Amino acid sequence: AFKLGAGISSGSASLVADAFHSISDLLSDFVTLGTVKLSRRPPDKNYPYGYGRFEALGSLVVGGMVCLAAAGIGMHAMDIIMAIGLPHLGEVGGPLGAVMAAAAEHGAAEAAQLGEITNYPLALAGVVSSIIVKEGLFRWTANVGRKANSSVVVANAYHHRSDALSSIVALVGISLTSLTSLADPVAGLVVAAMVGKTGVSLTWDAMVELLDKRVDHQALLDKVRRAAVDSSPDIIDVRHLRARRAGPYMLVDLQMLVPESMTVSAAYQAAVTLRKAVIEADPRIAEMMVNLAPATVEQISSEQVDDEHDTLSASKIEKEVRSRLAGFLPVKDVTVHFSNTGDSDVSARADISIGLQSSASSTRTLNGLADARDAADDVRRKLAGVEGLDPAAVNVRLDLGDGCS
């Protein structure tokens, strides 16, 4: 309001144009506040992926408002330029001449009121105060937007910056008015171009987000791979990662490679572990879809099965089972299954195949069915204490060889 009043009172066309830019800036602040509040709503039945896209929609509205403001500022400045610099446009014949004559007539009226600056101190005070305030608003708003990972807040911050820059141009125009009366409206035209560039940039960024342009995924893929290595040795690799923005959040889907011998429940548990680890590593990720794929033998590295992981994993349990039964009974196969026991707890059960035909290398011999049952009980006792494994859920299968069991 002060800038607009100063522009009208002093007769500065560029300051009036800059004031209208500031008014559009104020309106965009209200749009920003509304969309930021809406985009933070949690997912619900109607919007299962959340309300994040409303932030991009808000950026699109802000960009459109800035473009309209630029068009108005440019038309205002051009009218005055045509009236001051080209007073005989009405002599041009035809429809074009009629349009140009009307513009010149309108510009003459504007120039009569604003074409000559009558109060330099007031005009300078208005534009300098605007530069200081808008640059301060830019720095504060940009900092808030980056911390909140909000594209619409950052967009609005650059709207403040464009307002500060346009005020600098207006200051130059006012300063040069003593040399030529065209300096002030030409400065207004430069302001319009700067504002228009900002508006187009904001609009384009919002459009590509709404059209699901791919997020730069290499840094994200590296982060996901680190989370995969740290979360579970059952995960061989992750690939085919795709990510798209949804306001302050990201929606990610990827393919996770697991050993082809892994059970469905074990693979699911690895996927749950990965999803949790990735979201904890990058809070911007609101949702992650994991597709499972079997890995070939060549893709599996023995280095991935180690004891450095605190999370439950099929590979770790199998390694512990084989270690505890080594030299006691010859273990052929170990199949690990996972199941939810309630309250988000997960437990494992194991199907263990014992190959009796190679029992010469073991310390335990089996004679008869009763002895086999005792051996199964011995196996369960030896496996007591394996992290995550319920000994009562251990199934022992005796392989007699030649297809018998």
Pairing type for strands 345-355 and 331-342 reads antiparallel
pTM of the model: 0.58
Instruction: Determine the Cα–Cα distance for residues 339 and 247; give it in Å rounded to an integer.
Output: 36
Residue-level pLDDT at 336: 80
Cα–chain center distance at 364 = 59
Instruction: Determine the Cα–Cα distance for residues 308 and 318; give it in Å rounded to an integer.
Output: 15
The three-point CA angle 382-386-388 to 5° equals 140
Q: Quick one: pLDDT band at residue 345, thresholds 50, 70, 90? A: low
Q: Return all residues near 390 (Cβ < 8 A) that are at least 6 apart.
A: 347, 348, 349
DSSP 212-275: TPBP-HHHHHHHHHHHHHHH-TT--EEEEEEEEEETTEEEEEEEEEEETTS-HHHHHHHHHHHH
Q: What is the mean pLDDT of the chain?
A: 73
Mean pLDDT of 362-378: 66
Q: At what angle do helices 183-210 and 13-39 cross, to 10 degrees?
A: 20
Q: Which CATH architecture group holds 2-210?
A: Up-down Bundle (1.20)
Instruction: Determine the Cα–Cα distance for residues 176 and 29; give it in Å rounded to an integer.
Output: 32
Q: Does 119 or 361 have the greater pLDDT score?
A: 119
> Would you say domain 312-405 falls under CATH 3.30.70.1350?
yes
Q: Does 71 or 19 have the greater pLDDT score?
A: 71
Q: Which secondary-structure segment (H or E) carries 210?
A: helix 183-210
Pairing type for strands 389-399 and 331-342 reads unpaired
Q: Tens digit of pLDDT for each residue in 135-151?
A: 888 888 888 888 877 77
Mean pLDDT of 273-282: 86
Q: Which CATH architecture group holds 214-305?
A: 2-Layer Sandwich (3.30)
Residue ranges covered by each domain of the chain: 2-210, 214-305, 312-405
Instruction: Determine the Cα–Cα distance for residues 210 and 143; give it in Å rounded to an integer.
Output: 24
Identical fold at 2-210 and 312-405? Answer: no
Are 78 and 107 spatial neighbours (Cβ–Cβ below 8 Å)? yes
Residue-level pLDDT at 365: 57
Q: Is 240 left (phi over 0), alpha (psi -120 to 50) or beta?
A: left
The three-point CA angle 196-200-206 to 5° equals 145
Q: The sheet that has 345-355: what strands, in order across it?
A: 331-342, 345-355, 389-399
Q: Tens digit of pLDDT for each residue in 37-55?
A: 888 888 888 888 888 888 8
